[in-house]
Amino acid sequence: MAEKVIAGVTVKVNDEGYMTDPSQWNRDIAVEIAKEYNITLTDKHFAVLEFLRQRVMAGEALTIRRVGSSGIVDIKEFYQLFPGGPLKVSSKIAGIMKPLSCV
């Protein structure tokens, strides 16, 4: 397991750069990871990130459809907020593992 310093915090990451311990995550880390994707996080972004984290902590599998039916964003807006693979990108920013539905 590798380690990476993000926003001044040393976190554990896997080979793809996803955090392996969600408890190490904070909003400053999210902001720094988002910068790697040229994303400036807004309240709407954070609402999606919190939704993802809550669902994973509840043991649920994440899908784009589940996010689209969350009541926070629809699928089109999800793609706009997190371009380039919304579920992969948002999961990385949220400090959770890449969903199994992502290749």
Instruction: Give Cα 61 distance to the centre of its chain.
Output: 14
| Residue (of 36, 15, 3, 11) closest to 95 by Cα position | 11
**Annotated catalytic residue, options 6, 92, 102, 103:** 102
- Three-class DSSP category at 85: coil
Which position has the token pair 């554990």?
A: 12
102: annotated active-site residue: yes
Six-digit token pair at 22?
């969600």
Catalytic residues: 102
